[in-house]
Amino acid sequence: MIPERLKDHLRRAYALDSNLSEQLWQDLLVFFQDDPQEYIRSRHLELQDQGFKNEEIYRHLAKDVQHHLFRGPKLTQRQIRRAIYG
């Protein structure tokens, strides 16, 4: 749940109307609902589409998982590969 005080602050700061503000919050909540495994698989595909090689992707994902809003253990590159390929 997003605190109303934070919603109000961002509405004022960015001149958002109530409908747009609510849509933004819903999109953000959906984005951060992934568990680490789901996030790794979808982000892997995004990075591949951008032309990154797997070794670069694994390093990038290891950093991403540490800074994403879900809580999870620090993952090794091997654990990241397992999340992608099973």
Q: Are residues 45 and 80 in the same domain?
A: yes
Report if pTM > 0.85.
no
pLDDT over 70 at 22, yes or no? yes
Q: Are residues 44 and 63 in the same domain?
A: yes
Q: Are residues 40 and 64 in the same domain?
A: yes
Q: Are residues 43 and 80 in the same domain?
A: yes
At what angle are helices 54-67 and 77-85 packed, to 10 degrees? 100
Q: Are residues 41 and 80 in the same domain?
A: yes
Give residue 72's domain range.
Answer: 36-85
Q: What percent of the chain has pLDDT over 70?
A: 92
Number of domains in the chain: 2
More confident residue, 46 or 30: 46
pLDDT value at position 50?
97
Q: Are residues 67 and 80 in the same domain?
A: yes
Task: Compute the mean pLDDT over every residue in the chain, rounded to the nearest whole number.
Answer: 86
